[in-house]
Amino acid sequence: MAEASFYIGVIGNVISVLVFLSPVETFWKIVKRKSTEEYKSLPYICTLLGSSLWTYYGIVTPGEYLVSTVNGFGALVEIIYVSLFVLYSPRHLKLHTILVVAMLNVFFPIAAIAATRSAFKDEKTRSQSMGFICAGLNIIMYGSPLSAMKTVVTTKSVKYMPFWLSFFLFLNGAIWAVYASLQHDVFLLVPNGVGFVFGTMQLILYGIYRNAKPVGSSKGSSDIVADEEEGLTSRVPLLT
């Protein structure tokens, strides 16, 4: 059983890496234009927060090194994304972006780790408390894919909910849910189970609306950019 969970965890690592790298094209555009334009930094800031805490969870939880490795990689990638946002964000948004980064990516993780270490003396309780925090944060973050699905229903268009991204998110949730079941890790199982359900719903919506006639198809360029960003970043948070 342990061997099976290892191989499934490796597959989950590969899929998660692909999902972490999915916004590379967006950031290549940002670097070329030297501006974040209408793109939003919050999804990446929240993903960095989640990846950082899951990395710590994997470190302090025996047998969960596959969780720490992939989320450690994800944290490094998200640091690059967030740094590019800080560098290229408009002047009037730069200070706000820096403050949000400092609050969510510096202060909150340090406070959460310090609180669990000071409040609980044994490693198992520390691990469980951090798992509870990680799972809770990821479930809260599910408002993002719900918003994307609402956009698909109201516009009758899947243009801004890419099929392959939805598919890999569905696969990511499924693989890590199986891994969590084999590891008997409820903190991984619950959010990944929810992720699997949302991924399934996204694929069903894609099948329903992929040939539908879009509502209000004429849009300005800034609206298109904003919608493209929603499609790229309104993703199920990585729950590995």
pLDDT tens digits, residue range 30-48?
A: 999 998 877 888 889 989 9
Which of 4-8, 215-219, 220-224 is predicted least confidently? 220-224
Sign of CA dihedral 68, 73, 77, 83: positive
Q: At what angle do helices 42-60 and 91-101 cross, to 10 degrees?
A: 20
Question: What does the chain come to in residues?
Answer: 240
**Average pLDDT value for residue range 149-157:** 85
* Res 69: pLDDT: 94
- pLDDT category at 3 given cuts 50, 70, 90 is confident
- Using CA atoms, how far residue 186 sits from 102, 128, 178, 183, in Å, is 30, 10, 11, 9
- Using CA atoms, how far residue 172 sits from 22, 43, 141, 193, 197, in Å, is 13, 18, 16, 10, 11
For residue 230, is pLDDT > 50? Answer: no
- The predicted model scores a pTM of 0.81
pLDDT tens digits, residue range 97-131?
A: 999 999 999 999 999 999 999 988 888 898 999 99
